A and B are shown apart, each in its own frame.
Chain A
Amino acid sequence: ETGVTQTPRHLVMGMTNKKSLKCEQHLGHNAMYWYKQSAKKPLELMFVYSLEERVENNSVPSRFSPECPNSSHLFLHLHTLQPEDSALYLCASSPSSRGTQYFGPGTRLTVL
């Protein structure tokens, strides 16, 4: 398998649930990213990991918790989300912080 994969592709959860999004890259890249894409809003960068260390956190609420156990895997742990958190969550990776980003297909999250 090649490229960036994300699971699940669709997720519906209640506000009291805890769930996790998974991202996996088989490209040997050093940097990984989480983005939030909401309707009629710009793409929002949430977190950046470089060599498994978090290097950027753009004022994301604590109900979103990222984890990068190794350079190939990135998780986004979700708990007590709000309906306004419903969006498409995109994972990306890149060989360096300046290079082309390779995106996964996204997880469509709906919070009820």
Chain B
Amino acid sequence: GESVGLHLPTLSVQEGDNSIINCAYSNSASDYFIWYKQESGKGPQFIIDIRSNMDKRQGQRVTVLLNKTVKHLSLQIAATQPGDSAVYFCAEKNGGGADGLTFGKGTHLIIQP
């Protein structure tokens, strides 16, 4: 099975509200995590990343939280906008080698007007 997955396939939020997208991972050896946004017909777009020696990292309107105890990752988007509508993927990586990123199946974020 996949080592990275998401709790909900679809998340619907009101415009202006905060969104929280969750992700569970199973490989305790993973030390690098990353969130991507993918719009229809486009490749994944980098949002934010975090290493396992951190619990929280903030970007512009986004925050990633990492809980290594329960192997859980979340992406918080503040003041959700229509342009945030997309599929969001979390991905993990084990070590500094060339093993590649392991992606989950994705959460489709829908913004209600």
Same complex for A and B? Answer no
Hey, which bits of chain A sit against chain B, CB under 8 A? none
B positions within 8 Å CB-CB of A: none
